[in-house]
Amino acid sequence: MQRRRIIKVKDKSFTVTISERAIKRQIKRIADQINRDYEGKRPVFLAVLNGSFIFAADLLREIDLPCEISFVKLASYEGTNTTGSVREVIGLNVDITGRPVIIVEDIVDTGLTMAHMLDTLKKQNPESIDICTLLLKPSKLQVKLDIRYCCKQIPDDFVVGYGLDYDGFGRNTKDIYTII
Ligand code: IMP
């Protein structure tokens, strides 16, 4: 059965822009890179909740390395605009001192969330920190970030699905949808 190309999430309509197949292909591509780059290491993946929960689950199943995953929270977003405010990193229950860390994020928009996350994590002296994001809006970046792993760059449009939400809704789709 063909999946619906247009969906309504709360008061807004969205259309499919990245198919499940395309997402899976990109995840395999970056997982292969991580498997190569981290050969011989035991990385700690830190998935940023809530948006990255599906991405992290799919990514981890493509990783062949001995690794751990932990879930942290740090939100700066309400509705369809970033507020610019950042909150504390909570839920970090693994000791990352001297460990290679890979942050798993759903989407980098202004980059403020990631910058704050990096500052916080660096204080714990990890061996290294890489950023792995499903999506990146390069035109929105407000800070300089070295993003080593990125599945897909997208234009400056609001997206939902595959874990990403609009006011808490719309996470439960297999494809990614863009606002229309
Ligand atoms: P940043 O701090 O501006 O980079 O915001 C990153 C966070 O904003 C992401 O982790 C998402 O939770 C949220 N976000 C940014 N753009 C979108 C979008 O298009 N759809 C859903 N959430 C978004």
Segment 54-85, tens digit of pLDDT: 999 999 999 999 999 999 997 544 555 555 56
Distance 25 CA to ligand 1 centre (A): 22
Tell me whether residue 109 is one of the annotated catalytic residues: yes
How big is the chain, counted in residues?
180
Rg (CA), the chain: 16
**What was the pLDDT predicted at 89?**
84
Q: Are 46 and 103 in contact (CB under 8 A)?
A: yes
Q: Give how far Cα 61 sits from Cα of 15, 55, 64, 94, 115, Å.
A: 28, 10, 8, 20, 27
**What was the pLDDT predicted at 55?**
98
- Of 3 and 141, which is predicted with more confidence? 141
Catalytic residue among 109, 146, 156, 167: 109
Segment 141-163, tens digit of pLDDT: 999 999 999 999 999 999 999 99
pTM of the model: 0.93
Pocket test for ligand 1, best of 12, 109, 157 (most atoms within 8 A of CB): 109
DSSP state of 65: S
Distance 107 CA to ligand 1 centre (A): 5
